[in-house]
Structure 1
Amino acid sequence: MGLLKELRERNPGDFKNYLRMSDSSFNTLLQAVAPQISKQDTCMRQAIPAEQRLIATLRYLATGRSFEDLKFSAGISAQALGRIIPETCNAIVEALNAEYLKFPSTEVEWKAVAKQFEDYWNFPNCLGAIDGKHVRIQPPSSSGSYYFNYKGYFSIVLLAIVNAKYEFLMVDVGKNGRVSDGGAMEQTLFYQQLKNDQLHLPPNSDSREGMNYVFVADEAFALHKHVLKPFPQKNCQLKEEFTIIGIMAY
C-alpha cells in the first residue's frame, strides 16, 4: 500500500502500469465496488479494506500470478486471496455491467451502432468489429498442453466485439489458448444467436443499398452472411487484391 501511494503521487505512469488503469479510473472503480466488497471488523481482527482487496484483484488480473506469489506484494494470505479475488471480480461485473457493457438487443440499438461506424469511419452497415486476444496465464496443474497456444505460451482467449469508438459491446473470456479466435467465437452465446437469427438485427431493406448488416473480422473467423472478412492474403489473386484496395479506399 505504501509503494502504491508513492507511485500514485510521484509516478502516475508506473501506477498505471502496475494496475493497468489510471488513478482516476481506479478511484471510480473503487467507489463503485466498495459497498459490495467492504467487510465489518470483528473483535478478533480488522477486515481487509476494500481498496486493498481491489488492488490485489487488479494486480492478479494484470499479471496472472499465482496466489502464492501474489501474497507477498498484496500482504494477504493465499487462502484469503482465493476468496477475495473471485468475490471482487463478481462485484466489478455487477457494478459496471449495466452502464459500461450493454449489448444491443433491438433493431433501433443496432442501427445506432451502424450509424456510429458510418459517421466515424465512413463504413456503412457495420454492427461491430470482432477480434480475439490471448491472455497469458499460469496453466492449472495437470492441464498438459490444453492452454498452450500457437504463439508458444499458455493462455486463455478473450473474444470481444467493439463499436466505432472502441467501446466493448460483448466480451467472452475463458476459452483455452489452443482454440483459434474463430473457434472461440463459435462457442459463444453470441454466435449461436447469430446463426439462429436471434440478435434482432435490422433487415436489409433498412441498410445502405439493401446490403447485409455485418460484423467485421479478420481471416481467423468463418465467413457468414453477417460476418465480413478479407480475402485470404495467401494465394490472393490480382482481382481480389484490387477489390481489397478498393474497399480500403472506400
Structure 2
Amino acid sequence: MSISLRDCIRKRREEKDDERMMFIFPTLYLMGFAREGGVKKKRHTSEETGEVKVRRLLEGYVKNCQVTFRMEPHIFKEVATYLRRKRFIVDTRITVEEKLGFFLYMLSRNASYEDLAVTFGHSNDTFHCHINHFFNKVIPTLSRRFLQSPNPNQVHPKILENPRYYPFFKNCLGAIDGTHIPVSISPEKHSPFKNRKGTLSINMMVACDFDLNITFISSGWEGSVTDSRVLRSAMSKDFQVPPSKFYLVDGGYANIPSFLAPYRGVRYHLKEFGARHRRPQNSKELFNHHHALLRNHVERTLSRFLLTTTATKKKPSPKCSGAKRSADSPRGHLAEGTNNFTSIESQCVEEPLHQIDDVEDGAQAKEETLQEIHEIHDEEDGEKDARDEQEEARSGQ
C-alpha cells in the first residue's frame, strides 16, 4: 500500500471520528440536562445580594469593613459620594457603593473574578467591565486631580544634606528599576511571557523618589522583553524627564541623557563593598558605590511593594489572555499601561517636554562628577589622617 493511500485512509478515519464526537457530546449533554429535570441551576442563589452585603459591612462593626475593604466605613462613604457627585461612577442596577466595594475587595485580597462572583453574585463579564472602568478612567482622573507633582527644581534633603551626594547628584530625581510579576495564561501564549528564569511573568518598570514613593509605573509588557525596551516604551508615551534632570538606573539600561547608569566591569553592588571587602580603590569604584547607595532606594521600594502584595496573595495571579488584551476579553484583571505620578501637569499639555540640546554627554558628565567626588573624599581622608597624627603625638607625649 502506497504512503499516499495510507494517509488518505487515516485522514478519512479521523474525519469520521470527529463527526462521531460532534454527535456524541451534544447527546451526552442533553441526557444529563434531562436527568436533572430539564431545569438549569442558578449559580448565585444567596439571598444576600452584593448590595446588601456592602451595606451590612458599612453599617456593622468597623473592623469588618477595614478587613474587607482596607478602609473605614466613613471614608468609604465619602469616596462613594464623591465618585457619584462627580459622575465618575453612576448608579445602574449595581450601586456605586457595590462597584467601589468589589473593586477595593479585589485590590485588598488579590481576588480573581471567580472570587468576586462568589462574594458579590455577578458574572465575570460584569466585573470585567466595571473594574476596567476603574483602571482606565477613574484612577487616572483621580491621580490628575489629587496627586501633586514634585518640584524638580528642589534638591531632595537626602542629597542636599549629605556631602557624599551633593552637589554631584543634585539633579537626580530618583531611581528606576524593573521587576517581574508572575502571571498565569493559556498554554498557547506562554512563549512571549517566559522570562530568563523560565517562569511566566510581565515586566513592570517602576520609578521612585528618595522617600520610597512610587512616582511612575509602566506595566503590561511580556516577561521576555528587556528593561530597556520597557523604558523606551514609557518614554514614547507619557514618561517625561525635565531638562538637565536624570534618574539612576542599573547596568540593564543604557547610559543616555536623563538616565545615569554605573560603570560596567567594575564593582557595583553594595554586598561587594561589605565589611569583608575592600573600600573603593579608584574613582570608578567610588562612583559605582555612591550610585548603588542611592539606587538602592528603588530596590527597597520594590521589596516593600512586593511584600505588601504577597501578604494579601492567597493563590497564583488571575488568568489573563495576554498583556495586551482586547477590551472585550473577560479573562483576568491585569493592570496595563502606564501610571504617571510625576508629570501630572504634562499629561494635560498637548506638546510634551523636550530635552535641551546642550545636555552634556553622559560619559563626560560622569567623569567630571567622579573627579569632584574623588577630590572631596581625598580632602576627608587627609583631614582624618591629620587627626590620627595629632592623636598619636598626644599619646607619645
Q: Same fold (TM over 0.5)?
A: yes
**Which one of 91, 94, 118 corresponds to residue 159 of structure 2?**
118
Structure 1 pair 32–233 and aligned structure 2 pair: CA distance change class (3 A)? farther
Alpha carbons 2:175, 2:249 under 8 Å: kept: yes
The percentage of aligned residue pairs carrying the same residue is: 20
Deviates most, 215-224 or 233-242: 233-242
Is the CA contact (8 Å cut-off) linking 2:190 and 2:200 kept in structure 1? no
User: 1:230 is matched with which residue?
Assistant: 262
Q: TM-score, normalised by structure 2?
A: 0.45
Larger Rg: 2
Instruction: Find the aligned partners of 2:148 and 2:185 in 1 and give their Cα distance.
Output: 28
Q: Is the 8 A contact 1:33 1:92 kept in 2?
A: no
Q: Distance in 2 between matches of 1:85 and 1:231?
A: 44
Counterpart position of 2:63:
10
Map 1:208-219 to 2 at 5 A: 213-219=245-251
Matched, 1:139 2:185: yes
Q: Give the distance between the partners of 1:4 and 1:96, measured in 2 at CA.
A: 27
Match of 1:241 in 2: 285
Counterpart residue number, 1:175: 221
TM-score (norm 1): 0.66
Ranges in structure 1 where 5+ consecutive residues have no aligned partner = 41-46, 203-212
Higher relative contact order (Cα pairs below 8 Å, separated by 6+ residues): 2
CA contact (8 A) 2:205 2:218 kept: yes
Residue identity opposite 1:110 in structure 2: P
Distance 1:245 1:235, change over 3 A: closer
Taking the TM superposition and a 5 Å limit, the aligned residue runs for 1:33-182 are 33-34=83-84, 35-40=87-92, 47-61=93-107, 66-89=112-135, 90-100=137-147, 102=149, 109-112=151-154, 114-115=155-156, 118-119=159-160, 123-139=169-185, 142-182=188-228
Q: Separation in 2 of the partners of 1:158 and 1:7?
A: 39
Aligned partner letter, 1:95 = L
Shift of 1:71: 1.3
Q: Which amino acid aligns with 1:215?
A: Y
Structure 2 unaligned regions, length at least 5:
1-52, 269-279, 295-372, 374-397
Q: How many residues align?
A: 220
Asked whether the 8 Å contact 2:80–2:97 carries over to 1, the reply is: yes
Residue pair 1:66, 1:138 contacting (<8 A) in 2 also: no
- 3-state DSSP class of the match of 1:118? helix
Distance in 2 (CA, whole Å) between partners of 1:7 and 1:180 is 49
Greater CA deviation, 239-248 or 85-94? 239-248
Q: Does the residue aligned with 1:128 lie in a helix, a strand or coil?
A: strand
2:83 maps to a residue whose letter is: V
> 2:120 & 2:161 partners in 1: Cα distance?
43
SS at match of 1:241: helix
Are the structure 2 counterparts of residues 30 and 39 from structure 1 closer, same or farther at C-alpha, using a change threshold of 3 Å?
A: closer
Paired amino acid for 1:37: I
